[in-house]
Amino acid sequence: MCARLVRSPRSGFSRWPSARGFEAGWRYSVGPASSSVRRTPEPTLQDITALSALALSAAISERRLDCRSVMAAYLSRIAAINPQINAIVSLRPEEELLAEAEAADRALAAGEYRGWLHGMPFAVKDLSEAKGILCSFGSANYADFVPDYDDIHVERIRAAGAIIIGKTNAPEMGLGSHSYNPVFGVTRNPYDTGKSAGGSSGGAAAALAARLVPVADGSDMMGSLRNPAGFNNVVGFRPSFGRVPSLGNELFLGQLAVNGPMGRTVADVAALFATQAGHDPRDPLSLTDETLSLDAHRDLSGVRIGWLGDFGGYLPFEPGVLELCRASLDVFRGLGCTVEEVAPGFDMARLWQTWRTLRHFLVANGQAADYADPARRARMKPEMIWEIENGHQLSAKDVYAASLARSDWHRYVAELFETYDFLILPSAQVFPFDAELDWPKAIDGRAMDTYHRWMEVVIGPTLAGLPVAAMPAGFGTNGLPAGIQIIGRARADRDVLAAAASYERATDWLARHPQF
């Protein structure tokens, strides 16, 4: 179905090397060109790439690090590790990137600071347009598409000073939570390169876990910022619908997918989110600006948590996943929260049918032109054709009925938030699976009847348009990561990130990383 990399299995993890001494102690004097940079003492490449995005930003702005050294460190790590995981694609030439980094150094020396991402390497998910860089959408039909514009959130990332180095891999047209496609092949999990990195932001999550980028963007329709975050032991954040504006052809109807941030820490994610978010008149449904700064020390004492789990046995889980996620509830109890199990109160089979109808409708209409051309249709993945052909069978009455069911779900969830401050769900129903599979065909003996049924756990927050932080839940006995979703009230993005930050402080999962 797609080109495959030669397997080079790795597994296990270790803790991050301490970067405290580096952050406090290294001093740089940056001259007009890289040859005049003098460093005492010399940091290692690992020191640089181990820094959080915010720590790296501070080191650059305070001129303890020069942008050229940062770029060189990341390019060196990409050269060493990316061939094993295939997270970064369409990487621009090294000489161009180093020249842009040197220009960023000269700008800083001249007093021009472009923003918190000044001179930092950034790879955009290959479902968003970045001017002058191939945007394939993972599709053979777009294998030569080079846009002459940036999507809105990419425009903002670039304006904040980032140097766009290339793209992160994604599944064809974002369909399915396994990042493989006929253009670039499969992205592998840094914790075990025989396993999937998830998707559709699988390339972004794997690149973060392997320290190939300091922070990353992603998108999420059916868990694409959440499933790969759990699979790769990083942080993903699905914002409220409308928070991050986007260019699109279905802006008034496409109310399922969002763009958002991923990172190695909640603070990094919050910083990128603040850069991406805010109203833009080109997106008619984008929300007005408001303060989104992270409240990193929120006291969660007395906060009420509702555990949705498997919805009373409705959802199947691979053995070990649900138990690991349930154990994370003790972290919230330790923070002073009360935790209760939520009894099922909605027909989840109806919710699934609602999801299928709306997704069929959007995909069928969004890909209508490609499907109508026999040559382009022949290059489509079977799952895309299945979505389109099911969409063609829908009537306006079907779509309206799905909208009514979605509204009923929204009201049900709103009632839950009259009792609970946050809801918790696993971020995936399985551990990372074999990278050679297209998708899991069964979970714990229960057959999956569609290519995306195995990730049904993520559709509830999407259909309600709610903010969700995907956080690590630890590692199974197989050494593979799993994660949870922290779900907040409508438009309570800042509260969700504050809760995620408190959870992060009480755990050490994000201090662990793959062994490379």
Q: Do 485 and 473 form a contact (C-beta atoms < 8 A)?
A: no
Distance between CA 458 and CA 447 in Å, rounded?
18
Q: What percent of the chain is modeled with pLDDT above 70?
A: 91
Distance between CA 416 and CA 411 in Å, rounded?
9
Give the tokens for residue 328: 């994370």
pLDDT in tens, 408-447: 999 999 999 999 999 999 999 999 999 999 999 999 999 9
Give the tokens for residue 199: 């998707």
Task: Please provide the average confidence, as pLDDT, over all residues in the chain.
Answer: 92
Taking alpha carbons only, the member of 118, 144, 146, 141 closest to residue 131 is: 146
Give the tokens for residue 99: 């020249």
Answer whether residue 455 shows pLDDT above 60: yes
Taking alpha carbons only, the member of 486, 510, 474 closest to residue 324 is: 474
CA distances from 467 to 389, 461, 464, 497 (A): 31, 7, 9, 9
Answer whether residue 3 shows pLDDT above 50: no
Distance between CA 120 and CA 123 in Å, rounded?
10
DSSP string computed for 290-307: ------TT---TT-EEEE
What pLDDT is attached to residue 6?
A: 25
Answer whether residue 26 shows pLDDT above 50: no
pLDDT band at 42 (very low <50, low <70, confident <90, very high): low
pLDDT in tens, 110-165: 999 999 999 999 999 999 999 999 999 999 999 999 999 999 999 999 999 999 99
pLDDT in tens, 156-184: 999 999 999 999 999 999 999 999 999 99
Distance between CA 108 and CA 102 in Å, rounded?
10
Angular region, 229: left φ>0, alpha ψ -120 to 50, beta rest: alpha
Respond yes or no: is residue 224 known to be catalytic: yes
Q: What is the mean pLDDT of residues 256-267?
A: 98
pLDDT in tens, 309-363: 999 999 999 999 999 999 999 999 999 999 999 999 999 999 999 999 999 999 9
Strand 481-487 to strand 422-426: parallel, antiparallel, or no bridges (unpaired)? antiparallel
What pLDDT is attached to residue 457?
A: 98
What pLDDT is attached to residue 458?
A: 98
CB contact burial 172-181 (16+ within 10 A = b; e otherwise): bbbbbbbbbb
Taking alpha carbons only, the member of 202, 290, 310 closest to residue 239 is: 290
> For 315, which DSSP code?
S
Respond yes or no: is residue 200 known to be catalytic: yes
pLDDT band at 31 (very low <50, low <70, confident <90, very high): very low
Contacts 24+ apart (CB under 8 A), 23-32: 23/51, 23/55, 23/58, 23/59, 23/64, 26/59, 26/64, 26/65, 27/64, 28/63, 28/64, 28/65, 28/66, 28/69, 29/63, 30/63, 30/66, 30/105, 30/108, 30/109, 31/109, 32/106, 32/109
First-last CA distance in the chain:
29
Answer whether residue 10 shows pLDDT above 80: no
Distance between CA 6 and CA 376 in Å, rounded?
29
CA distances from 211 to 51, 121, 155, 260, 364 (A): 9, 12, 24, 19, 37
What pLDDT is attached to residue 25?
A: 37
pTM above threshold 0.85: yes
More confident residue, 500 or 27: 500
What pLDDT is attached to residue 516?
A: 87
What pLDDT is attached to residue 254?
A: 87
pLDDT in tens, 373-407: 999 999 999 999 999 999 999 999 999 999 999 99
> For 7, which DSSP code?
P
Answer whether residue 22 shows pLDDT above 70: no
pLDDT band at 33 (very low <50, low <70, confident <90, very high): very low
Give the tokens for residue 63: 């001129």
Distance between CA 239 and CA 258 in Å, rounded?
7
Give the tokens for residue 469: 């932080």
Catalytic pick from 224, 240, 427, 502?
Answer: 224
Taking alpha carbons only, the member of 278, 201, 191 closest to residue 512 is: 191
Taking alpha carbons only, the member of 169, 262, 260 closest to residue 216 is: 262
Q: Do 262 and 229 form a contact (C-beta atoms < 8 A)?
A: yes
Catalytic pick from 200, 286, 427, 502?
Answer: 200
Catalytic pick from 34, 57, 69, 125?
Answer: 125
- DSSP E strands: which ranges in 393-500? 422-426, 442-443, 446-447, 468-475, 481-487
Give the tokens for residue 52: 């959080």
What pLDDT is attached to residue 250?
A: 78
Respond yes or no: is residue 35 known to be catalytic: no
CA R_g for the chain: 22
What pLDDT is attached to residue 289?
A: 83
Give the domains, in start order, of the chain with CATH numbers: 23-514 (3.90.1300.10)
Answer whether residue 272 shows pLDDT above 50: yes
pLDDT in tens, 195-226: 999 999 999 999 999 999 999 999 999 999 99
Q: Secondary structure of the chain: what % helix, strand, coil (to 5)?
A: 40, 15, 45
